Amino acid sequence: MSVLVGRKAPHFSAQAVINGDEIVDNFSLDQYLGKKKVIFFFYPKDFTFVCPTELHAFQARLSEFEAKGVAVVACSTDTEQSHWGWLQLSKEQGGIQGVTYPIVADTNKTISSNFGVLAGEYEYNEQGELAATGELIAYRGLFLIDTNGVVQHMVVNNFPLGRSVDEAMRMVDALVFFEERGEVCPANWSAGQDGLKDTHAGVASYLATH
């Protein structure tokens, strides 16, 4: 698994479901460059138990993310038709009806692979094609990407371990605070608290390129 923090998020173009019911081609995170930060998160499978709790939890806080200039985008290795079908089922039926942010279909598994969150046994053949010896699904990876397309935060959980939307929001607040104030965030920092002045060249370098 590669560490993407400090590097450009891998480019992709794929089918996705947007607004809860519309299938689109050639969906890409490039549309947010220079405009919005992105929370891009992977989940293992449609029609499962932990996954809908995460997707609903992000939807419940979507307006907060958007108010901070952040787009939320989900992705799994299921097809766009599977995503669409799951979106038509109510929460009471185990579905994700009401989720409006984009859900990307990584049916060829290359997005998960490039982001370093693809679980399963696989390798690339001489033609550069991904060849699997078993089921391939994504770990619960989450990436905070800035407006320049650079990954600023990532976390990857195993399948049974659901993520904290509060922590994702805290990381957004920390990045916004740093970009606006030029101050770094100490352990357990939360919005409204003081930061720390940093005299290291790394901070100045970051600010000079953003």
- pTM equals 0.87
- Alpha-carbon span 52 to 171, nearest angstrom: 22
- Predicted pLDDT of residue 195: 67
**3-class secondary-structure state, position 153:** strand
Q: Stretch 82-106: mean pLDDT, rounded?
A: 97
Helix axes 50-60, 165-181, angle to 10 degrees: 40
What number of H helices and E strands is found in the chain?
Answer: 6, 13
* Alpha-carbon dihedral sign for residues 5, 9, 15, 20: positive
Q: Which residues are catalytic?
A: 51
Residue (of 82, 62, 80) closest to 71 by Cα position: 62
Q: Where are the domains of the chain?
A: 14-163
Percent of the chain with pLDDT over 90: 71
Condensed to tens digits (0 to 9), the pLDDT of residues 102-124 reads 999 999 999 999 999 999 877 77
Residues 6+ apart with CB under 8 A from 124: 130, 131
Condensed to tens digits (0 to 9), the pLDDT of residues 11-50 reads 999 999 999 999 999 999 999 999 999 999 999 999 998 8
- Number of neighbouring beta carbons within 10 Å of residue 34: 9
Condensed to tens digits (0 to 9), the pLDDT of residues 113-159 reads 999 999 987 777 778 777 776 789 999 999 999 999 999 999 999 99
- Our measurement of the distance from residue 162's CA atom to the centroid of its chain's CA atoms, rounded to an integer in Å, reads 14
Q: Stretch 46-59: mean pLDDT, rounded?
A: 94
- Predicted pLDDT of residue 207: 46
pLDDT band at 179 (very low <50, low <70, confident <90, very high): confident
Q: Stretch 70-98: mean pLDDT, rounded?
A: 97
Has domain 14-163 been given CATH number 3.40.30.10? Answer: yes
